Amino acid sequence: MQVLKFGGTSVGSTQQIQTVVNILNIRAKKNRLVAVFSAMAGVTNQIIAAIDDAVTFGVHGSSLIRMLQQRHLETLREVAEPQFFTAAEETISEVLHELDRKLNGIALLKECSPRTRDSVISIGERLSLPVIAAALRSLGIRVFEIDAAEIIRTNRQFTDAKVDLATTEALTNARLEGLQNGEIALVSGFIGGTADGDVTTLGRGGSDYSAALIGRAVHAELVEIWTD
């Protein structure tokens, strides 16, 4: 099994996503692949800025929601075939609705706990994954989307969570044991989860760490960190 991680600049535009998809298509022909993805370039910083504006000024972030929706849907339509639009669009809509609701709550309270902050800043990764999945499915590749919060087990040290390596290994292997040559498991980077279901983040460089954790868990033959 091989683990490949792609950062935000690697999935920051239509052309870059097409390059990544071609890399994965070639690799998947002879390997079982796990591909770990960051948010599209700039998205996490925009979400952090929206949190800060909500806390400081009570601004609820509707302009950000519209911008993220436009960017991800336009990219989706440029990299995927029409038959794969609906499922991806539904996921993007659900995630953006969650972001809108949480930013509204932060703006009303003018405060954001570390727990809430993690659940909000993790949304960028959750938006990029359905776009990549649709692009790969358009090439006939069988793809499985995995929420990293379900396999990377952490403590409750929000914004810089510590990983339970033994539990992470068990959960990761349970989810990936059926992965076959020619199939790709897509995993959201940067994200972990507590035993009671709260989303956590792994701190700076968290997506690289996610790839390393998965590689360790499955005894991968290699872990590659791709940049543009």
Residue 76: the pLDDT is 98
> Which candidate, 98, 124, 99, 122, places its Cα nearest to that of 40?
124
Q: pLDDT digits over 176-195, tens only?
A: 998 998 999 999 999 999 99
Neighbour tally for 64: CB within 10 Å: 21
Q: Do 17 and 135 form a contact (C-beta atoms < 8 A)?
A: yes
Report d(CA 97, CA 107) in Å as an integer.
Answer: 15
Q: Do 50 and 64 form a contact (C-beta atoms < 8 A)?
A: yes
CA distances from 225 to 7, 44, 89, 190, 215 (A): 8, 19, 28, 14, 12
Report d(CA 23, CA 19) in Å as an integer.
Answer: 6
Residue 60: the pLDDT is 86
Residue 32: the pLDDT is 94
Which regions in the chain score pLDDT beneath 70?
none
Place of tokens 């994965």: 24
Place of tokens 């990764």: 125
Measure the CA dihedral 166/169/171/173, to 10°. -150
Dihedral sign computed on CA atoms, order 190, 91, 116, 149: negative
Give every CB contact of residue 219 below 8 A, 6+ residues apart in sequence.
Answer: 1
Place of tokens 């539904």: 90
Percent of the chain past pLDDT 90, that is, above it, reads 92
Residue 206: the pLDDT is 86
pTM of the model: 0.94
Q: What are the residue ranges spanned by the domains of the chain?
A: 2-226
Q: What topology is assigned to 2-226 in CATH?
A: Carbamate kinase (3.40.1160)
